[in-house]
Amino acid sequence: MTAVEDRPGVPSDDAAAPEIGRARRRKEDARLITGMTTWTDNMVLPGMLHLAVVRSPVAHARITNVDVSAVREAPGVIAVYTGQDLAEEQGSLPCAWPVTPDMVNPGHPSIAVDQVNHVGEAVAVIVARSKAAAQDAVELADIDYEPLPVVLDMEEAVQDGADLVHDHLESNTSYHFVFDAGEMGTGSDTDQAFADADVVVSRRFVQQRLIPAFMEPRSVVVQPQGDNYTMWSATQIPHILRVMAAMVTGIPEHKLRVVAPDVGGGFGGKLQVNPEEILCLLIARRLGKPVKWTETRSESLMTAHHGRDQIQYVDVAADREGNVKGLRVRLLADMGAYLRLITPGVPALGAFMYPGIYKFPAYRFECDGVFTNKVPTDAYRGAGRPEATFAVERIMDELAVELGMDPLELRRKNWINAEEFPFTTVAGLAYDSGDYETATQEALQLLGYDELRAEQQRRRESGDPVQLGIGFSTFTEMCGLAPSRVLGSLSFGAGGWEHAAIRMLPTGKVEVVTGSTPHGQGHETAWSQLVADSLGVPFEDVEVLHGDTAISSRGLDTYGSRSLVVGGSAVVKAADKVIAKARKIAAHLLEASEDDLEFAGGKFSVRGTPGTGLGIQEIALAIFAAHDYPEGIEPSIDAEATFDPENFSFPHGTHLCAMEVDTETGFVKIRKYACVDDVGTIVNPLIVEGQVHGGLAQGIAQALYEEAVYDDDGNLTTGTFVDYLVPAASDLPHFDTGNTVHAAPGNPIGAKGVGEAGCIASTPAVVNAALDAVRHLGVTDIRMPLTPERVWRALHDGGDGGERATARTNAQAVDSTDAPSTSGGAL
């Protein structure tokens, strides 16, 4: 990866140059990287007690007896609570997205009362004077379980007569969600389209279960003060958490303050109302003392929500010339054992993106949300859209093979042309702007496409054991999660607006309060750049405040590539209001008419009289003193704004992957990766590139490395980072990145969102590349992640590489106490 210094566009010294577009180094990074900041787990409060959670070792069982008497006697232990103890007051964890009116939600206790439904579910909570004492006492809890049949396989779980996860329900199906373009009037009849088609290609794709694997483990501190409570949490969503926690616990919203201090990553994994957050509140309320819970990495992998886990049945219809005629998608989506905050909504969010950038005349989508005895799934970077993009970009390649067409030609024939924007798709979305052809041309150049194709040919002809393939992904995504009305029409439990406030301090410095809470994205830098340009103040004079509901009263937080598009736009709108208010004061002080004033470079001046004028920072002092200001206005130029766009934004791009496959071992290696993304206006190229790199790493990780694997008993086999393989920099190639810029028309910045792009686009490019390398050897699919073994099996036995073995089955019997079931190295 290119070093920062090599990159064009590093901060220019030209103070007059606009901030927007500058590759500013992030102002927050020094403190984040060195740890010179407050992470939740750093917090120490007088009298603080520590929690440890006793967790179920079994996936599905009735709890027949709970004996915690030995725990109570353990040194340092203050209290222990079981599910029975908290049953009356714990309520249910919220699910904010009832995707259908008849969706079945079994409720989600924070602590199991009489039944456990996944390994790792909380069954008791120990409160002790130290973390070590709490942890030591965990082993003393004696809990009896009566096993129930374990439901893991979705295709089995939806059969009639299947064992049930929740035996008081009629089936394992939570909901059946349908989007039919024919019925909605956005497309023609799908069955007819398939009946009339020359060619139909059908595939079954498996979106494996992934673990968000954020760097900072989850951590919560709750401090009671009289009937007020302050909760610090390593969360993405302090504002949503506050509302939800108030509703769950009955603590009135105005008595609850939630603070997300600096937060070390989330990727959707901290877009949650966690059982432990509720448990901390309940226990702090009972004891009247501050409490802290910080998870171990094992707890994190086992119990924090997972992502993806869908089986996709995809059919595409086309004519012989390669014009697509219809798309049909059936999904089984694994909810896990319960519905968490937006568990059911993730596949539904994807529903609208399966048509991708193509002009399908007909489209039908159906999804069953299925309960299993696993930890719930929920948002993970891209949430629904990576799955959709994968399906359409993979099936386009399959269709190309079926038709004997070049995969790029097929795409070109069917994609929306630049002059057709805005374009309303068969799913009813109005794509805002873009140019797929230009992005593709530039990406082909960056990759060195023609040379690599020639090399591929040579390797095929010589029968080289290392084969080469090239994979495409020409994707778009739906970003800037907002339009509140649209979210309402999808039954989402909240709006999508965002709020900002600007406070002009007497010395001319500026405080910006944002409702979009960052957890590593660099909001402080980008927002400072926006405000510096809007108000004409120095970048350094801007401070961005966030994450504390007592400071930032309104907000809907950070997810769905929404922060800049929605939250940044609110900041710009607030700045406009500051200028409008300052204009009145400037006119008064300059004894000029408001209409004669122009505002540039932070200064009001009277048109035609250069040299005269009043800076906005001076006005801030003048209005603080408030000795001289116009009648009838308030003595303040502070302002707030709430922004609610009317449409999503639709970044797009072309991602190309060249992949080497060692046919002797099955090892795959990315030879080259090039992508050109259109994310609209770029406020900070360095941040954009960082987001693309990180997204690529996670998307490539889904294709090649990561998979949460459960054994037949419902134990998470990939319970440590030895087995849940997160790639490091050394495992990733250099990325050749580029941009085209088509400003988004729907927000004042013109930004489209970049947080999820790389993660959404890269996965199918990588898999398509591997298949392109070995298709001539008879391989038509390889299941993700493409482990060397799967690739080798697909080459040698046919099929998609199959399931992975979950147990260490050494020839010699192994004492399980000293041999954790890890795949490489018992540690």
> Counting contacts by CB under 8 A, is residue 422 touching another protein?
no
| Residue 640 is a binding residue for another protein (CB under 8 A) | no
Phi, psi of 451 (to 5 degrees): -60, -40
Tally helices (H) and strands (E) across the chain: 22, 28
Helix axes 757-774, 685-704, angle to 10 degrees: 40
Burial class from Cβ neighbours inside 10 Å (0-12, 13-18, 19+) for residue 5 reads exposed
Residues of span 718-757 touching another protein by CB under 8 A: 718, 720, 722-723, 725, 727-728, 730-731
Q: Which is nearer to another protein, 454 or 805 (CB)?
A: 805
CA angle 18, 654, 414 (to 5 degrees): 125
* CB nearer to another protein: pick between 27 and 793: 793
Task: Please select the residue that binds another protein; options are 132, 178, 215, 633, rule is CB under 8 A.
Answer: 132
Segment interacting with another protein, rule: CB under 8 A, options 272-280, 335-343, 572-580, 803-811 = 803-811
In the complex, minimum distance from the CB of residue 71 to another protein, in angstroms, rounded to a whole number = 15
Binding of another protein at residue 44 (CB under 8 A)? no
Tokens representing residue 564 in the block:
């800049």
Cis amide linkage into residue 785, ω under 30° from 0: yes
Kindly state whether residue 787 participates in binding another protein, applying the rule CB under 8 A: yes
What is each CA distance from 237 to 245, 248, 269, 280, 333, in whole angstroms?
A: 12, 16, 11, 17, 24
Binding of another protein at residue 817 (CB under 8 A)?
yes
Q: Is the peptide bond before 101 cis (omega within 30 degrees of 0)?
A: no
Regarding 775 and contact with another protein (CB under 8 A), the answer is no
Applying CB under 8 A, which part among 271-279, 317-325, 345-353, 786-794 lies near another protein?
A: 786-794
Q: Is 493 in the site for another protein (CB under 8 A)?
A: no
Q: Does 824 bind another protein (CB under 8 A)?
A: yes
C-alpha span between 792 and 413 (Å, rounded): 34
Please give the size of the binding site for another protein, defined by CB under 8 A. 49
Q: Does 189 bind another protein (CB under 8 A)?
A: no
Question: Any contact of residue 804 with another protein (CB under 8 A)?
Answer: yes
Closest contact distance (angstroms) between CB of 137 and another protein is 11
Report in angstroms how near the CB of residue 519 gets to another protein at its nearest: 22
- 470 residue type, one letter: I
Q: Which stretch binds another protein (CB under 8 A): 413-421, 497-505, 537-545, 798-806?
A: 798-806
Q: Among residues 600 and 811, whose Cβ is nearest to another protein?
A: 811
Comparing CB distances to another protein, the nearer of 4 and 726 is 726
The one-character DSSP state at 191 is: H
**Dihedral of the CA atoms 511, 517, 521, 526 (nearest 10)?**
-30
C-beta of 478: minimal distance to another protein in Å?
Answer: 32
Is there a contact between 259 and 548 (Cβ–Cβ < 8 Å)? yes
Binding window for another protein (CB under 8 A); candidates: 244-252, 255-263, 296-304, 564-572: 296-304
Nearer to another protein, 65 or 812 (CB): 812
DSSP reduced 3-state for 142? strand
Please identify which residue in 261, 792, 794, 795 interacts with another protein, judged by CB under 8 A: 792
- Interaction between residue 807 and another protein (CB under 8 A): yes
Judged by CB under 8 A, which stretch of 132-140, 162-170, 445-453, 532-540 contacts another protein?
132-140
Decide if residue 462 touches another protein (CB under 8 A): no
Residue 666 Cβ vs another protein, minimum distance, rounded to whole Å: 8
- Pick from 525, 561, 717, 763 the residue near another protein by CB under 8 A: 717
Q: Which stretch of DSSP H or E encloses residue 526? A: helix 523-535
Structure tokens at 467: 């084969």
| Half-sphere exposure of residue 809: CA atoms within 13 angstroms, side-chain side | 4
Locate the DSSP E strands across 6-76: 49-55, 61-67
Please, which residue, 571 or 709, has the CB nearer to another protein?
A: 709
Q: What b-and-e string marks burial along 545-574, b requiring 16 or more CB atoms within 10 Å of the CB?
A: ebbbbeebebbbbbbbbbbbbbbbbbbbbb
Q: Which of residues 657-686 bind another protein (CB under 8 A)?
A: 664-665, 667
Question: Contacting another protein (CB under 8 A), which of 135, 186, 445, 636?
Answer: 135
Cβ proximity to another protein: between 413 and 808 the closer is: 808
Q: Which is nearer to another protein, 100 or 821 (CB)?
A: 821
User: According to CB under 8 A, which one of 38, 69, 84, 296 is a site residue for another protein?
Assistant: 296
Helix, coil or strand: residue 230: strand
Tell me the CA end-to-end span of the chain in Å, nearest whole number: 31
Nearest to 377 by CA among 301, 298, 311, 308: 308
Cross-strand pairs, 203:
314
Contact at 8 Å (CB) between 703 and 766? yes
- H or E element at residue 571: helix 569-590
The closest alpha carbon to 349, from 246, 410, 268, belongs to 268
| Shortest spacing between CB 818 and another protein, in angstroms | 6
Q: How far is the CB of 708 from another protein (least distance, A)?
A: 11
The smaller minimum CB distance to another protein, of residues 603 and 671, is found at: 671
3-state helix, strand and coil shares in percent for the chain, rounded to the nearest 5: 30, 25, 45
Of 656, 793, 794, 795, the residue at the interface with another protein (CB under 8 A) is 793
814 forms part of the interface with another protein (CB under 8 A): yes
Contacts with another protein by CB under 8 A lie at 131-132, 135-136, 139, 296-298, 664-665, 667, 705, 709, 717-718, 720, 722-723, 725, 727-728, 730-731, 787-789, 792-793, 804-812, 814, 817-827
